[in-house]
Structure 1
Amino acid sequence: MKKMLLLIATTALLTSRSESALAQTADEVVEKHLAAIGGREALGKVTSRITSGSITLSTPGGDVSGTVESYAKAPNKSRALIKVDLSSFGAGQLVVDQRFDGTAGYILDSLNGNRDITGNQLDVMRAGFFPTPLLKYKESGAKMELTGKEKVGSRDVHVLQVTLAAGPTIKHFIDTEDYTLLKIVTTLNVPQLGGAIDQTVEFSDYREVDGIKIPHKTTASNPAQTFTITVTKVEHNTDIDDKSFSKPAAEK
């Protein structure tokens, strides 16, 4: 169970070449994606976001459910608070509070113990610029390559491979028709799970909120676990205290 819940808060993540995919540049695909989800101007006006919803975690013993609240603030602060009922496993309520203040990260974990965020997970969080890392990927020092086309289900996608200035490689799968982001695959080094693993996050049910298209369903999976988050509420430009992203004083 500990391994299955290890990456529960990090949702934040092959090539078939063809002439049609390679006819565009990586920058052109990125710009079409940004336009499809609202455009640079609308995205630039969003300084913070609070989302709330439900989470369903698949386990060998059956599905368990709970609630999730996430907070994001420009340029790259984030927090996820997850509560899952594990009473069917005799473990009571699991509470995971993952915080990142833009530089350092910390997890309050009622099951596995509190700990600092390190390694690849920290690298990914540092590069997770709000409202989307693709908005200013060049400024972050990341390198982008359009590697070709694949399919996600029945849909054709452009595959953008992003190499972070420090950290792992992340693949973005962007629909060739509506240019929404359908999937992200991040290769992470997780010693607790035996080394390198692929963390896959799939996005669906896009809805417009304040002029920006936001996926209201996210499914994340890796060799240890699968969970689905369904968003029920989104708030933009709400004042969020910077202290809420930091390691609690009692833990310092």
Structure 2
Amino acid sequence: MKKMLLLIATTALLTSRSESALAQTADEVVEKHLAAIGGREALGKVTSRITSGSITLSTPGGDVSGTVESYAKAPNKSRALIKVDLSSFGAGQLVVDQRFDGTAGYILDSLNGNRDITGNQLDVMRAGFFPTPLLKYKESGAKMELTGKEKVGSRDVHVLQVTLAAGPTIKHFIDAEDYTLLKIVTTLNVPQLGGAIDQTVEFSDYREVDGIKIPHKTTASNPAQTFTITVTKVEHNTDIDDKSFSKPAAEK
């Protein structure tokens, strides 16, 4: 019995040390990533961002295109306005306006109907601190571990697994050479799609704007759809009315 207790205690001690060392290594990867995209000081000076560009949505019937505008404001407010021409499908224009005021989220959807954002999607949005969640992951109550190295295309990447306080898991794939973020995989529970799904977002074409490196091409995919966003304009520290992130009064 004493030997068994000693074995358990020793194993627990080794486990705690391994977790501590791993967390320290994860922190080092995070700091190198933050430095690579501009540094904590530069990131801390950014209070808001407005981006505009084009979006291409891949569907079984072919690709459709449109425009996208996104708004973000510290600490974690966000909004995305997407307009896609569906006239080739006989459906006119699709307009999706997704809003998050820091606590609650709402979607205005001309095709599928307006609705509140709930479940894991809401959890992820609440943890989406601007300008990058990795800047304040500890404050959010999330747990992070470095799970090893993998490949994204031909690039070696560090894999950081972040488990949010509310439960969802997000894997960050950070380039092992230049420490930019190449991909995020979020595991979400979506009952409408049959349960747990992986939503993948890939980032490329990094360009410097106001001292911060920002990906100008983003490709997102899940079992339901794939779309690519190409950014053409980025504005920082523009005054954005908080009301623009909230559920419209007419919908309350």
Q: 1:19 to 1:150 in 2, by over 3 A?
A: farther
Distance in structure 1 (CA, Å) of the matches to 2:105 and 2:141: 21
Gaps of 5+ in 2: none
String of CA shifts for 1:187-215, please: whole Å, max 9, x gaps.
Answer: 01111111111000000000000000000
| Alpha-carbon distance in structure 1 between the residues aligned to 2:156 and 2:193 | 32
TM-superposed CA distance for 1:168, in Å, is: 0.4
Partners of 2:169 and 2:33 in 1: CA distance: 19
Question: Which stretch of the first structure deviates more once superposed, 5-14 or 98-107?
Answer: 5-14
Deviations, residues 153-191 of structure 1 (Å, cap 9, x unaligned): 000000000000113000000000000000000001111
Distance in structure 1 (CA, Å) of the matches to 2:168 and 2:38: 28
Q: TM-score, normalised by structure 1?
A: 0.91
SS of the residue 1:217 aligns to = strand
- Tell me the residue number matched to 1:95: 95
Structure-2 change in CA distance of 1:20 and 1:203 (3 Å)? farther
Contact persistence 1:14–1:150 (CA under 8 A) = no
* Displacement after TM superposition at 1:8 (Å): 48
Deviation by residue 1:82-118 (Cα, 9 ceiling, x = unmatched) = 0000111111000000000000000000000000000
CA spacing shift, 1:110–1:4, aligned 2, 3 Å: farther
8 Å contact from structure 1 (residues 49, 235) kept in 2: yes
- CA RMSD in angstroms, aligned pairs only: 11.4
Q: Following superposition, which runs of at least 4 residues in structure 1 exceed 3 angstroms of deviation?
A: 1-24
Q: 1:148 to 1:179 in 2, by over 3 A?
A: same
Instruction: Give the equivalent residue in structure 1 for 2:239.
Output: 239
| Alignment deviations for residues 14-60 of structure 1 (CA, whole Å, 9 cap, x no partner) | 99999999797000000000000000000000000000000000011
Equivalent in the alignment of 2:54: 54
More contact order relative to length (CA 8 Å, sep ≥ 6): 1
Please say if residues 8 and 227 of structure 1, whose CA atoms lie closer than 8 Å, have aligned partners that are also in contact: no
**How many aligned positions are there?**
252
Contact kept? 2:23, 2:144, Cα under 8 Å: no
Q: How many Å separate the matches in 2 of 1:22 and 1:143? A: 12
- In terms of fraction of residues, the more helix-rich structure is 2
If the length of structure 2 is used for normalisation, what is the TM-score? 0.91
SS in 2 for 1:137: coil
Matched residue, 2:43: 43
Change (3 A) 1:136 1:12: farther
From the superposition, tell whether residues 216 and 119 of structure 1 become closer, same or farther in structure 2 (CA, over 3 Å).
Answer: same
Separation in 2 of the partners of 1:16 and 1:86?
55
Secondary structure of the structure 2 residue equivalent to 1:24:
helix
1:79 Cα deviation after fit: 0.1
Identity %: 100
Give deviations 1:223-251, integer Å, cap 9, x for gaps: 11100000000000000000000000000
Question: 1:75 touches 1:130 (CA, 8 Å); kept in 2?
Answer: yes
